[in-house]
Amino acid sequence: MPVIDVNHVTKEFRLGQLTDLKQTLLHGLDRLRGIPVPVRSPFKALDDVNFSVKEGEVLGIIGSNGAGKSTLLKILARITTPTSGSVSVRSAVAPLIEVGAGLIGDLSGRENIYLNGAILGMHQAQIRKKFDDIVAFAELEEFIDTPIKRYSSGMTVRLGFSIATCVDAGILIVDEVLAVGDLAFQRKCFDRMEDMIKRQGKTVLLVSHNVRQVQRLCSRVLLLAHGNIVADGPAPAVCNLFYERSDEKIKTNLRQRTDNVSSGEIELLDAYLLDDTGEVTDRLIYQADVTVAIVFEAYAEMTSPTFAVGLQTTDFVYLSTPLTGDLYKGRTLKPGIHTLNCRISRLPLLPGVYSLNFRMNGGEFQRVVFHSENVGHFQVKSLNSRSDSMLEGLFELDAAWQLDVGTSETNRSVGSSTKSAVEQTEGTARDCRI
Amino acid sequence: MRLLTPLIGRSEATHAGSVEMVDLGVIRRAVGAEDDNKDARVRHGRCFASRRSTINGRAAMVQVVKDLYQYRELIAVLAWKQIIVRYKQSYLGLAWAILKPVTLMLVFTLLNSLIGITSGDIPYPVISYTALLAWIFFQESTSDGVVSVVSNAQLIRKIYFPREIFPLTGVVTKLVEFAINALILAGLMAFFGLAPSASIIWVPLLLIYIILASLTIALAGAALNVFYRDVGAALPIILQLMMYASPVIYPMSLVKQKLLVEQAAGPWSDVLYRLYTINPLAGIIDAFQRTILYGQHPDLELMWPGILVTAVLLPISYAAFKHAERHFADIA
């Protein structure tokens, strides 16, 4: 039996201003007299959404801004109600939405723990029991009796997160709160989340723009767009679909983009990829040879140009940046249209969507002549199922494996690499290469 | 339209429609004939099965009280927060609570020395302070209750619990201030050599009546204030007028004397008197003075119109609050 059931849920908001009392009364009067009154057009934040979540399932919800993610979570947490449709939730819910929103500046950390705990539905006895844990996790031992208006913003959210995750509830609803505090604390939050999921077996609904995080934590992902569920399935597939879709958006944004750093000496005309047959493409086969071609026009002479073509994920993790270095040192680039080709053989990137950045430096001091963070994007596809199964990660390492199998008489576990086991297997020539 | 990519499979459970929910305390409002959707869709449907059962508009008051009892800890903590926050950085702290009734009592006493209202055996300051004790508790919990939802908008957007907790918290907070003011009254009575009689046991019952009367205004007012802040702005004026329409400055006996005995408004006197008693505070304040100062029982003949009005309006006010509740997070 699913623990969360969402049936045909639609949530509408009316656009525009709320009318004031006078307007409402006048409109009411008009309605009575049969005169049509202006209707504010509705905006569908969620449009006929259906899904259910099983107990212990970890469901990620991704989508661009305004897709309806937070509205959906708010409906599940009963904060707001659907315009139509029904929702059933068969367990207590701990919502981690706007962590720290209920904290009161005038109260001390200690007082806030009791207050916020009560707001989140904990009993005072429970809070007393968990008090030390909460303080220790938030790393606020010294400051616990200080009014939290004197806290730094990081301290406040740490306290909020620490209280919220202590709530004993079967379902955890997490809205974009893992990115609190410094890196060390984010790591802690993430670990606590993983602990809740993997060891305590809680049902978790997670909304985040950090798709990599979603992919790591969730077994199943919903992709929302304009209030509709666009995809619902295993995390890697849905996340890749999301990358592709947001890449389309990034691409269209790029066309109007003017924030490329440029000295005006060159203009980027085109950037495209060629596969090993010389065809222009943006879909590459896994481990194929590829040539990145950059077409630009130089308006002035440029001495010692250097070029860099960088590969990055769509969420801006730089993977590699091939540089020309000293290749064109001492040479001069004449004005005119040029094409730069950068050939990469056996591209080791795993299936997914990636984008390219391009930088050109030149002159005596190697100043930046042109720099664009995103000149194009491409998708790597797989031909066989082997690379599909390696979706965890970004590129492939040339790894060789060897498994030394122990003998059954000594009853050693498979893969033990003690010296005697190695000797024994070598003797029987039972090397096992995978 | 939904656009499903072939590589992604949908979970089968998504379409598992009919689930047993009857035992979970669920309400589903049936589709009206005006529903333009062809499919039998549940409109405004809410079915939740958390640890507490869903409140039905028609559910008995007992159920409401039971539900709220579950949240007693939260109410207590929120009230404690209100008090702490209000007085934390002040030197006089809770002593500020007595400032209002004491000042008003002094002003009324000064005023009375000019116009000379006869107060019988009991000194006027004690009479007016007793009236103010009841009145200020009513006034403050009402005005606190009306703005409570809007001022807690931040919490409302963050987490769910029954929203009537906010007006109730206002009442509980004021109950603490009431207790402090009651101590002042005790001191005042001791000063004038007055001892309370056994009829003081009526006071808790009267307090509950004040709370219910206050919630009648606060619940509907709080809901309306979410949509129209005009309510919050108008309230102090309305309450001010209500004070003059209650026997705070003058004793109830004077009203009776003027309208019932002297028939001061001619043929309208009896009607005016009834209208006057519709205000629950008329009966409450009189009963406070009777039970605490005079050792009498409350005058039920005077109180029944107010009780009736409260009994009729409170459920309506509560229903209106619950009806508006679902929009709070979107609008407040």
Task: Please state, in angstroms and rounded to a whole number, the distance separating the CA atoms of residues B129 and B100.
Answer: 11
Flag whether pLDDT at B56 surpasses 60.
no
Interface contact A18-B7, CB threshold 8 A:
no
Instruction: Nearest chain A residue to B224 by CA: give it.
Output: A21
Distance CA A375, CA A358 (A): 7
- Considering only the beta carbons, identify the residue of B2, B8, B227 that sits closest to A233: B8
Q: Closest partner residue to B49 among A52, A79, A89, by Cβ?
A: A89
**Residue A1: its chain B contacts at CB < 8 A?**
19
CB atoms A51 and B11 under 8 Å = yes
Structure confidence by residue, pLDDT tens digits, A372-382 = 887 877 888 77
- Read off the pLDDT of residues B275-322 as tens digits, 9 standing for 90 and up: 899 999 999 999 999 999 888 888 888 899 999 999 999 999 999 998
In this predicted model, what pLDDT tens digit does every residue of B238-277 receive, in sequence order? 999 999 999 988 888 888 888 888 887 778 888 888 889 9
Burial class of residue B183, CB neighbours in 10 A (0-12, 13-18, 19+): exposed
pLDDT value of residue A422: 43
Report the gap between the CA of B328 and the closest CA in chain A (Å): 8
Determine, for residues B49 and A234 on separate chains, whether the beta-carbon distance falls below 8 Å.
Answer: no
Q: How far is A273 from chain B (nearest CA, A)?
A: 26
String of DSSP letters for B202-240: HHHHHHHHHHHHHHHHHHHHHHHHHH-THHHHHHHHHHH
Q: Which residue of chain A is at minimal alpha-carbon distance from B74? A: A118
CA–CA distance, A386 with A409 (Å, rounded to integer): 35
How much is the ipTM here? Answer: 0.70
The span from the CA of A159 to the CA of A180, in Å, is: 10
| B8, B38, B71, B154: best to mutate for the A interface, most A CBs within 10 A | B8
Task: Give the model's pLDDT for residue B6.
Answer: 35
Verify whether the Cβ–Cβ distance B8 to A232 is below 8 Å: yes
- Smallest CA–CA distance from B152 into chain A, residue: A102
Q: What is the C-alpha radius of gyration for chain B, rounded to an integer number of angstroms?
A: 25
Nearest CA to A132 out of A143, A145, A141 is that of A141
In sequence order, the 6+-apart residues with CB closer than 8 A to the CB of B69 are none
Structure letter (DSSP) for residue B24: G
- Determine the pLDDT at residue A257: 54
Residue to substitute from B160, B235, B323, B325, interface A, most A β-carbons within 10 A: B160
Average pLDDT, chain B: 78
Contact (CB<8Å) B78/A231: no
Nearest to B81 among A2, A85, A107 (CB): A107
How close are the terminal C-alpha atoms of chain A, in Å?
Answer: 41
Which of A 75-134 lie inside 8 A of B, CB atoms?
77-93, 95, 97-98, 101-102, 104, 106-107, 111, 114-115, 118-121, 123-124
- What DSSP assignment string belongs to A273-300? EE-TTS-EESEEETT--EEEEEEEEE-S
Q: How far is A392 from chain B (nearest CA, A)?
A: 18
Residue B15 pLDDT:
32
CB-CB contact of A301 with A333 (8 Å) = yes
Interchain CB distance below 8 Å, B159 and A20 = no
Alpha-carbon distance of A349 to A395, in angstroms, equals 4
- Confidence band for B72, pLDDT divided at 50, 70 and 90: confident
Interface test with A, best of B7, B11, B42, B85 (most A CBs within 10 A): B11
Question: Which residues in chain B touch residue A90, judged by CB atoms under 8 angstroms apart?
Answer: 24, 49
- pLDDT tier at B217, thresholds 50, 70, 90: very high
Over the stretch B193-210, which tens digit does the pLDDT of each residue have?
888 888 889 999 999 999
Question: How crowded is residue A339: how many other Cβ atoms within 10 Å of its Cβ?
Answer: 10
Whole-model pTM? 0.72
Stretches in chain A below the pLDDT threshold 50: 387, 414-434
What is the per-residue pLDDT across B87-144, written as a single tens digit (0 to 9) for each? Answer: 777 777 777 888 888 899 899 888 888 887 776 778 888 989 999 999 999 999 999 9
How crowded is the C-beta side of B205, counted as CA atoms within 13 Å? 11
